[in-house]
A = this chain, B = another copy of it.
Amino acid sequence: MAIAPTVRVQQQDFDLAAEVAALTSGRTDVGAVVTFSGLCRDEGGALAALELEHYPGMAEAEIKRIVSEAITRWPVTGLTIIHRYGQIHPGENIVLVVAASPHRQAAFEAASFLMDYLKSRAPFWKKEHHVDGSAGGWVEAKEADATALKRWDEKGQR
């Protein structure tokens, strides 16, 4: 399916409803839309803000590569990824993934795949700033995220 995915790396917030509408308005071939919003948590009150650093240019390029992979794997009618950078406070949005498809399973799997790949392959890094003024340091990559990624390799080999 020839679709034109939307990929944006930006400082400002996004509008979930507008992004879903962009993939569904005026269409009658979309049966399922899955969205994922990633938000900043305050870690039990300790976190004042996250600072998101990214590699401009490569961030967009890498996300586009991930999106292209998803398009070859699932019958999607639309895909949108928006990843923010800069200072982000608890309760605020960090990332949005929207996957639209005729079928629910494809929409769920494409969105989940995109999130797993974003976590481990997109060039973004999070630094924590604590409420007490101390720099919390850089968030470490989680083993669980690498594991989450592997399940898509296994599926691809079946």
User: In this complex, what residue of B is CB-closest to A24?
Assistant: B39
A136 at the interface (CB under 8 A from B): no
Q: How many whole Å from A108's CB to the nearest CB in chain B?
A: 5
User: In this complex, what residue of B is CB-closest to A29?
Assistant: B41
Stretch in A30-38, A58-66, A121-129 touching the partner: A30-38
Cβ-defined partner of A39 (8 Å) among B31, B39, B45, B148: B31
Copy count, this protein chain: 2
Residues of B within 8 A of A107 (CB): 36
A86 at the interface (CB under 8 A from B): no
Give A97-116 interface residues, CB cut-off 8 Å to B: 102, 104-105, 107-108, 111-112, 115
A72 at the interface (CB under 8 A from B): no
Q: How far is the CA of A102 from the CA of B34 in the complex (A)?
A: 18
Contact A20 B16 (CB under 8 A): yes
Give A3-39 interface residues, CB cut-off 8 Å to B: 15-17, 20, 24, 26-39
Q: How far is the CA of A29 from the CA of B29 in the complex (A)?
A: 36
Other contacts beyond A31-B40, A32-B37, A108-B115: 4, CB < 8 A = A16-B35, A29-B41, A31-B41, A108-B111
